[in-house]
């Protein structure tokens, strides 16, 4: 059983973040993540609140942590050229000593594309672009220092591109594909990913997780890949509260999230691990050290 935290890189400061990194490093955690947004990914009234850029923060974390896997859940593919993205990932992998995981997805938050002048094509094109990007990234990750590779696609190309230095972690920086779409995203995951991440910021539950994993298994079988090669992970909102009325209200609105007393949360997490989950990442926890200290002492300790 492995546990990760996705920090909220919004409405917080670097000082808040640094204190929480210390809590994660000292606790029972296995991984640390951020998201990849330039506006607060919520309603328009908060778009202009503090927003720390995820790649910058995770790079800083790579230099000051040890043992923890690091990454973004998930990088929006459209924001960056995929060859540049591969180079960024390998550089952070070098800084961290081989602890970086490249999480990537098709992207969804139209408002920040508009705000920053970034093209936001339709869903099909975003999914097509993601597959081309992964063609490029996997080709670059496979290179030895003396090698180069070229690619010509509909959306992206590269010519005689090197990757030197290569990743510390061999054979490559692990690739995590995030998203729940059964026809495209999980199919893309089956083809390219080392890690699958289901996002239960969207509606979910244990039965939904089981169903998504069965879909992933079928996609693997269709292309002749062993499903066991793909690690199964999940991102899910978490809120510890001893107030039963608060928990009831939250669960009436989003009945699948982890909300309530530690004993309830521990029980639900156990159901996910029994269903085949290998690592769970908690989201939506305000970036305050006391929050992560309590999760460590009251929830993670139950799985020692």
Residues 225-263 have pLDDT tens digits of 999 999 999 999 999 999 999 999 999 999 999 999 999
Q: Which helix (H) or strand (E) holds 20?
A: helix 14-26
* 3-class state of residue 301 by DSSP: helix
Please tell me the predicted confidence (pLDDT) of residue 143: 97
Number of H helices, E strands in the chain: 10, 12
Orientation angle between helical segments 82-96 and 54-64, nearest 10 degrees:
20
Query: Got the DSSP string for 92-128?
Result: HHHHHTS-EEEEEE----HHHHHHTT-----HHHHHH
pLDDT at 46: 87
Average pLDDT over the chain reads: 97
> Measured between alpha carbons, how far is 78 from 61 in angstroms, rounded to an integer?
24
Which domain CATH number covers 51? Answer: 3.20.20.30
Q: What is the mean pLDDT of residues 15-38?
A: 97
Phi/psi of residue 44, nearest 5 degrees:
-60, -30
- pLDDT at position 61 is 98
- When pLDDT is averaged across residues 111-124 and rounded to a whole number, the result is 94
* Overall number of domains in the chain: 1
* 52 contacts 82 by C-beta, under 8 angstroms: no
Q: Average pLDDT of 23-42?
A: 95
Residue 303 pLDDT class (50, 70, 90 cuts): very high
pLDDT at 221: 98
Give the pLDDT confidence score for residue 45 in this predicted structure.
Answer: 82
Query: Cα-flanking dihedrals φ and ψ of residue 242, to 5°?
Result: -90, 0
pLDDT tens, position by position, 192-223: 999 999 999 999 999 999 999 999 999 999 99
* Helix residue ranges per DSSP H, 117-258: 123-141, 185-192, 206-223, 244-253
| Burial category of 85 from C-beta neighbours within 10 Å (exposed 0-12, middle 13-18, buried 19 and up) | buried
Please give the residue that has the higher pLDDT: either 49 or 101: 101
In this prediction, residues 68-75 reach a mean pLDDT of: 98
Produce one character per residue of 211-230: b if its CB has 16 or more CB atoms within 10 Å, e if not.
Answer: ebbebbbebbeeeeeebeeb
Give me the pLDDT at residue 43, please: 86
Mean predicted confidence (pLDDT) in 8-23? 95
Give me the residue label for tokens 């490029």. 136
Question: Looking at residue 161, what is its pLDDT?
Answer: 98
pLDDT band at residue 109 using 50, 70 and 90 as cut-offs: very high
Q: φ and ψ at 135, to 5 degrees?
A: -60, -45
The answer to whether 192 touches 134, Cβ cutoff 8 Å, is yes
If you ran DSSP here, which 8-state letter would residue 261 be given? -
User: Which residues are CB-contacts of 294 (< 8 A; sequence separation ≥ 6)?
Assistant: 240
Q: State the pLDDT at residue 99.
A: 98
| pLDDT above 90 coverage of the chain, percent | 96
Answer whether residue 44 shows pLDDT above 90: no
Structural domain range at position 276:
2-303
Element at 226 (helix H, strand E):
none
- Tell me what the mean pLDDT of segment 6-28 comes to: 96
């Amino acid at each position: 059983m492995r546990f990760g935290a996705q920090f909220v890189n919004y409405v917080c400061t670097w000082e808040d973040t640094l204190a929480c990194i210390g809590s994660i490093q000292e606790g029972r955690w296995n991984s640390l993540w951020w998201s990849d947004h330039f506006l607060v990914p919520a309603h328009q009234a908060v778009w202009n609140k503090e927003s720390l850029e995820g790649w910058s923060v995770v790079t800083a974390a790579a230099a000051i942590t040890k043992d923890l896997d690091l990454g973004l859940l998930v990088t929006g593919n459209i924001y960056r050229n995929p060859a540049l993205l591969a180079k960024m990932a390998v550089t952070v992998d070098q800084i961290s000593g081989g602890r970086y995981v490249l999480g990537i997805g098709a992207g969804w938050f139209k408002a920040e594309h508009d705000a920053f002048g970034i093209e936001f094509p339709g869903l099909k094109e975003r999914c097509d672009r993601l597959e081309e990007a992964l063609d490029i990234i996997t080709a670059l990750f496979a290179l030895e220092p003396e090698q180069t590779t070229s690619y010509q696609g509909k959306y992206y190309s590269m010519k005689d591109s090197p990757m030197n230095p290569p990743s510390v972690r061999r054979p490559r920086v692990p690739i995590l594909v995030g998203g729940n779409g059964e026809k495209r995203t999980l199919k893309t995951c089956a083809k390219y990913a080392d890690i699958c991440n289901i996002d239960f910021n969207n509606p979910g539950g244990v039965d939904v997780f089981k169903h998504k994993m069965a879909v992933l298994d079928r996609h693997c079988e269709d292309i002749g890949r062993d499903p066991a090669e793909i690690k199964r992970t999940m991102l899910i909102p978490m809120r510890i509260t001893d107030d039963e009325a608060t928990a009831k209200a939250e669960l009436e609105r989003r009945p699948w999230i982890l909300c309530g007393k530690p004993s309830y949360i521990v029980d639900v997490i156990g159901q996910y691990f029994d269903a085949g989950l290998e690592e769970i990442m908690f989201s939506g926890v305000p970036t305050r050290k006391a929050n992560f200290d309590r999760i460590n002492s009251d929830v993670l300790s139950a799985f020692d």
